[in-house]
Structure 1
């Protein structure tokens, strides 16, 4: 695997794991707050506060579940070692001046002062890129973009 591509995967995985750790801590704090509320409160105010915290907890647990799926998907795609003949999941593409990794939609990571955008194959740009080859052009948002690199 290309060294830069390996760094992109490692940076993305590190970022996802950091987010997971923050969400886990936040989840723990909410659970502690719910338990504390049970000891100290009664009445409508208690019910409203507890409901809000419960909704927050459900939201965080959903984010944690998605984060675990994203990490698993990145590990799966990282096992693809050879350069693909055309754009597919796991491909790193230089489109004009921008780098894109077709993987999961988590936005931008910075690797060696280079911005790399992680996007899903099902995103609008991802769908345009799938199946294209190096030196092909794609029309995205009214502009033509050349695939300069495919790793």
Structure 2
């Protein structure tokens, strides 16, 4: 498994999310300007709801930008113990410890990209090859670490 190539896929997916959020913020702001022709309390309520939506999108955008910045510091060298930047194969699947992003496909294999703060990320942290761990009453064995 080439962790550098996987990291590029993750960075690309994150860049797509950032671009989508930026577009959504821009479109929502534009729609907010269009509603100004309404009158009275309805206008103020609608405007406030749109502003809340913009704020929510901005929070998501900031989180994704921060995640992108943290990816730049990831170590793609081989790991002996699981931590940030580790690619892990268990008997249940592949996991890349980086940022919370969901799953990607690499060389026909599904890899779940998870953060160190996720329950699984916490359960894996510090473990070594051949160790077992349990999460939600599901036992898993660590087969390989990159």
Q: CA RMSD in A?
A: 1.4
Residue 141 (1) aligns with residue 132 (2) = no
> Using a 3 Å threshold, how does the CA distance of structure 1 residues 81 and 105 change in structure 2: closer, same or farther?
closer
Q: Which runs of 4+ in 1 moved over 3 A?
A: none
Distance 1:91 1:61 in 2: 29
Distance 2:89 2:50 in 1: 44
Aligned 1:39-78 pairs, distance under 5 A: 40-77=37-74
Find the counterpart in structure 2 of residue 30 from structure 1: 28
- Unaligned regions of 5+ residues in structure 2, if any? none
- Unaligned regions of 5+ residues in structure 1, if any? none
- Give the TM-score of the pair, scaled to structure 1: 0.89
1:96-146 Cα distance to aligned partner (Å, 9 max, x none) = 141001111121112222111111222222112111111111122223211
Find the counterpart in structure 2 of residue 9 from structure 1: 7
